[in-house]
């Protein structure tokens, strides 16, 4: 009788101890905003593990926690994760509305998910370095992207498509032939991932030739002034 009572007490204590053990409630993912994900396709990421007793564990690396990535069973809906660094595909990112879902499977075979929301282009604009085009000289078509993060970055031909009413588009340059007589050129740019972002500008072509009289012969700068 006494032995049965002791066994029952031991079982009750075991269950009470198990009931008091904190369990995982949710996970919260984040990424390094200084990685410039507006332009680049990789970023350090971190995961916070929130438990029933309000305690929190964090991954190593970006969050500087103690939970090692090689001890986790974590996957991504876009790209791959290697030691806390996420490599993703931008084309898929656009299709997924700039969201990536991280999934963690625990040893107890429970599954937790968290979603990362990445910045996206909300507008583009020309920021031309000079106010006119010179014939037979490459004219750089500088385009900036405005992002949902509030940041502005220059965009290149990997994200842009160009057209011009005259001359030739060479990469991100416009080149007018020397014999061209047009007075203005209309330039256009489209954002490849989302063609609704479209801009155009009319740029004048320089008509007057450069004033050669203002140019100084470098050799004249070093001539000594003659004495009378």
* Tally of residues, the chain: 228
pTM: 0.76
What's the pLDDT score for residue 3? 58
What's the pLDDT score for residue 21? 87
Q: Which domains does the chain have, with CATH numbers?
A: 20-117 (no CATH), 121-206 (2.60.40.2120)
What's the pLDDT score for residue 225? 53
> What is the residue-level pLDDT of the chain in tens, covering all 228 positions?
555 555 555 555 554 445 578 999 999 999 999 999 999 999 999 999 999 999 999 999 999 999 999 999 999 999 999 999 999 999 999 999 999 999 999 888 899 999 999 999 999 999 998 989 999 999 999 999 999 999 999 999 999 999 999 999 999 999 999 999 999 999 999 999 888 999 999 999 998 776 555 445 556 555 555 555
What's the pLDDT score for residue 208? 75
What's the pLDDT score for residue 117? 98
């Amino acid at each position: 009788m006494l032995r049965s009572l002791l066994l029952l007490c031991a079982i009750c204590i075991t269950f009470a101890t198990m009931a008091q053990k904190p369990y995982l409630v949710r996970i919260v993912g984040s990424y390094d905003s200084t990685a410039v994900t507006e332009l680049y396709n990789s970023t350090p990421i971190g995961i916070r593990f929130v438990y029933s007793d309000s305690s929190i564990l964090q991954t190593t690396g970006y969050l500087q926690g103690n939970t090692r990535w090689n001890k986790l069973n974590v996957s991504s809906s876009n790209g791959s994760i290697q030691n806390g660094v996420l490599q993703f595909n931008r084309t898929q990112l656009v299709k997924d509305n700039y969201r990536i879902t991280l999934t963690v499977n625990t040893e107890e075979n429970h599954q937790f998910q968290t979603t990362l929301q990445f910045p996206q282009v909300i507008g583009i604009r020309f920021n031309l370095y000079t106010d006119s085009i010179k014939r037979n000289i490459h004219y750089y078509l500088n385009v900036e992207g405005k992002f949902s993060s509030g940041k502005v970055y220059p965009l290149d031909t990997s994200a842009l498509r160009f057209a011009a009413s005259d001359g030739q588009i060479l990469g991100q340059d416009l080149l007018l032939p020397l014999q061209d007589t047009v007075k203005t050129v209309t330039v256009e740019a489209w954002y490849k991932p989302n063609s609704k972002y479209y801009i155009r500008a009319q740029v004048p072509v320089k008509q007057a030739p450069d004033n050669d009289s203002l140019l100084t012969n470098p050799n004249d700068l070093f001539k000594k002034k003659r004495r009378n």
